[in-house]
């Protein structure tokens, strides 16, 4: 909840909106809205000692205190499901809406659904900072989920394999679909990625896939000869992911 008491207190002491925003961890737009509403309501510092932020919100922004009749999304379940392959927030929102319809409840709009989930995820998801040098590494792999294309003559569905190359520092990514995961496609994909990025990184990091690594080993993986020759041609080093 916004710290209304401190906003009013600091403002009465002549602290700038930038300073109040930094101290109360909220935006300057929020500071402006609170001060404008306080002036309209005739509220100023000092406040009665027993007033809480909840009471202040009731006076300043009564519209925010109206209880919603909409069903809150189960953010914990969403967090578990979104980790599964092929699951998206859009798919989970549709399931949530269908569940609400069956139970006679009112769902939130998609934007609100996402906002509640992202707020939950930002407080629960563990993260680790990994330092990367710009342009040093290109991570490459075939994407785990196969796509498909439709033959416009026969109508046949043909599997398409997705090559992904990413520069981890900037998260700049190149993606291309191929009809095969053979060595020719693998090498071609690298060439196209280099052309797209406009240069060659010092290190190539494949994810121990069979196309580029003949023998998978945590200690001494054996790099495919053709792949190694390509790396030598471009002056880069292949270091499979550990």
pLDDT tens, position by position, 124-133: 655 556 667 7
pLDDT tens digits, one per residue of 37-91: 888 888 888 887 777 766 777 788 776 654 457 788 888 889 888 887 778 889 9
Q: Are β-strands 137-142 and 203-206 bridged in parallel, bridged antiparallel, or unpaired?
A: parallel
Highest-scoring range by mean pLDDT, 56-60, 87-91, 101-105, 171-175: 171-175
What pLDDT score does 213 carry? Answer: 53
> Percent of the chain at pLDDT above 70?
85
- Report DSSP state, residue 70: B
The pTM for the full model equals 0.49
User: According to the model, what pLDDT value does residue 68 have?
Assistant: 54
pLDDT mean over 98-102? 90
How is the chain split into domains, by residue range?
A: 4-65, 75-124, 137-238
Q: Specify whether the CB–CB gap between 204 and 233 falls below 8 A.
A: no
Q: What is the pLDDT of residue 195?
A: 95
Q: What span, in angstroms and rounded, lies between the C-alpha atoms of 165 and 174?
A: 5
Q: Helix or strand or coil: residue 41?
A: helix
- Residue 126 phi/psi, 5° resolution? -75, 140
Residue-level pLDDT at 167: 92
The DSSP 8-state label assigned to residue 64 in this structure reads G
Query: 227: closest CA among 215, 219, 217, 218?
Result: 215
Indicate the helix (H) or strand (E) that contains 239.
none
Mean pLDDT of the chain, nearest integer? 82
Find out if CATH 3.30.420.10 is the number for domain 137-238: yes
Distance CA 140, CA 192 (A): 12
Q: Of all residues in the chain, what percent carry a pLDDT higher than 90? A: 20
């Amino acid at each position: 909840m916004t710290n209304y008491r401190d906003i009013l207190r600091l403002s009465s002491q002549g602290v700038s909106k930038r300073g109040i925003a930094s101290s109360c961890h909220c935006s300057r737009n929020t500071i402006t809205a609170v001060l404008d509403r306080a002036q309209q309501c005739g509220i100023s510092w000092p406040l009665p000692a027993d007033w809480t932020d909840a009471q202040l919100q009731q006076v300043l922004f009564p519209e925010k205190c109206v209880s919603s009749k909409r069903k809150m999304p189960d953010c914990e379940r969403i967090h578990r499901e979104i980790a599964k392959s092929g699951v998206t927030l859009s798919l989970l929102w549709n399931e949530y809406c269908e569940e609400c319809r069956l139970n006679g409840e009112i769902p939130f709009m998609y934007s609100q659904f996402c906002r509640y989930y992202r707020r939950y995820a930002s407080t629960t998801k563990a993260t680790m900072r990994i330092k990367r040098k710009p342009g040093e590494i290109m991570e490459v792999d075939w994407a785990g989920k196969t796509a498909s294309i439709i033959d416009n003559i026969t109508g046949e569905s043909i599997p398409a394999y997705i090559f992904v190359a990413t520069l981890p520092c900037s998260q700049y990514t190149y993606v291309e679909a191929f009809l095969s995961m053979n060595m020719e496609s693998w090498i071609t994909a690298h060439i196209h990625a280099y052309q797209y990025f406009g240069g060659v990184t010092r290190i190539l990091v494949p994810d121990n896939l069979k196309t580029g690594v003949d023998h998978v080993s945590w200690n001494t993986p054996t790099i495919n000869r053709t792949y190694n020759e390509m790396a030598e041609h471009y002056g880069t080093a292949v270091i499979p992911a550990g």
